[in-house]
Structure 1
């Protein structure tokens, strides 16, 4: 939690620095709210993304709104980013920007990186690659519509990406999944971000989903 709070505070500082440099930054439609976009055509409203913000006044294209992605890095990661670029060194961050551009309707993004050790900044403009962005939405569609748990990226518990994943205990240590309707074999996604129970033959409220019921069976 403290790490999350630190990251959020750094994000606010980075946005403040952009504004101090004369750029216009919009962080949401209202105070305390982020810009958030939901994909409905393929995923039925079950795939959404929030932006750090949108920025106007980027020197290379001062009249074009850009999706804003703010990230802090340690020294090693920062140098790798400067050498290789965000697409190669931070593919997850690159993917976030691609989907953000696709769903928001903007076709440019500004990736603002900060070295946590030195406060040095680096920035990179990214263009929308519609094919890559749509391919990422297709992956989301496969996950949303799958009647079973999607296969993991590795069967090796020591694999780097698995080792540091929050779901490592679930995949490799026999920890049972959380008991909610969304992890039940009798429940499927429906349109408008809703969830349908085949046992009750009804759309479930959020409260019902959290509580689950006596007929709950873990999705396999």
Structure 2
């Protein structure tokens, strides 16, 4: 067996594991609200913890973006009309946002109807599970994302378009708007902004629960790591309409960069010390 030179191994390690500073979004993404844990959404919205991401993980995200262009080209080259790419959807007092992949017209059976289109890439195991169970069961986060987008655009249906990264096969599924599902999600998000207590932990509160093991917020939720210091974790903040945040001490709105920096008068928001 030929050994790989040590310097090459070192290069691979650098390219895979060097960390990239990825600032948290100033809003809660519609692409994230379909998960089972509302507590993680609370942490995310309040910037309670922030991890840098590896270059390898960044490449995975980038691959999805590259393939989105490829899949759009597949539709257009077959004669379908794709438009409204990256159009923004805004909800919940301006604090929840999302950007659609686009809409499509001309799909067989729905030739005269504009459909939301959502592009996803996945490995073979997830792709096979998707084919067996459908998007609602196998990819509930994606299903939720499409429901909120359809509601925001007043569309009745979506085309879910998945790509198998192992063998380049496609999977497509038509998803119908579910107004009751959307209403429940909207209530859940409203309560996330207005409840006085942080949402409960899932999985009986144990850190070994499968969805907790790889959660970005496990260190603060289960392992006792300190809460990040910024305006959103401070007791003096208020959540305002139109995507704004304000400070009770200054009586002024605070912009995103000011929120990131915080100030010397920072005191932890009591809900972030919750033990529920």
Question: Partner of 1:152 in structure 2?
Answer: 201
Structure 1 residues without counterparts, runs of 5 or longer? 29-33
Quote the Cα distance in structure 1 between the aligned partners of 2:181 and 2:74: 31
Larger Rg: 2
Match for residue 72 of structure 1 among 95, 117, 121: 121
Counterpart Cα distance in 1 of 2:188 and 2:218: 21
Q: Which runs of 5+ in 2 are unaligned?
A: 1-57
Equivalent in 87, 97, 120 of residue 35 of structure 1: 87
SS of structure 2 residue aligned to 1:38: strand
Q: Which of 1 and 2 has higher RCO (CA within 8 Å, sep 6+)?
A: 2
Query: In 2, distance between residues paired with 1:126 and 1:94?
Result: 8
Indicate which of 155, 161, 170 corresponds to 1:106: 155
Secondary structure of the residue aligned to 1:193 is coil
In 2: Cα distance, 1:214 partner to 1:147 partner = 25
Cα deviation per residue 1:177-205 (whole Å; 9 max; x = unaligned)? 32221121221210111012122222212
Structure 1, 76-85 or 153-162: larger mean CA deviation? 153-162
Distance 2:225 2:62 in 1: 28
Cα shift at 1:160: 1.4
Query: Partners in 2 of 1:47 and 1:146 — Cα distance?
Result: 17
Question: Are residue 44 (structure 1) and residue 96 (structure 2) matched?
Answer: no
- Which residue of structure 2 lines up, in the alignment, with residue 31 of structure 1? none
Q: Determine which of 73, 84, 90 is the counterpart of 1:16.
A: 73
State yes or no: 1:168 paired with 2:225. no
Distance in 2 between the 1:142 and 1:73 partners? 32
Contact 1:147 1:188 in 2 (8 A): no
1:78 and 1:104 mapped to 2: Cα distance? 28
- For 2:78 and 2:142, locate their aligned partners in 1 and report how far apart those are by CA, in whole Å: 24
Kindly report the root-mean-square deviation, in angstroms, between the aligned alpha carbons of the 2 structures.
1.5
TM-score if structure 2 supplies the norm length?
0.73
Q: TM-score, normalised by structure 1?
A: 0.90
Write the distance in 2 (CA, Å) between the matches of 1:111 and 1:133. 17
SS at match of 1:70: strand
Q: Which residue of 2 aligns with 1:93?
A: 142
**Structure-2 change in CA distance of 1:146 and 1:184 (3 Å):** farther
Query: Between Structure 1 and Structure 2, how many residues are aligned?
Result: 212
Q: Distance in 1 between matches of 2:213 and 2:84?
A: 33
Structure 1 contact 147–185 (Cα < 8 Å) conserved: no
Partners of 1:23 and 1:91 in 2: CA distance: 27
Aligned match of 2:59? 2
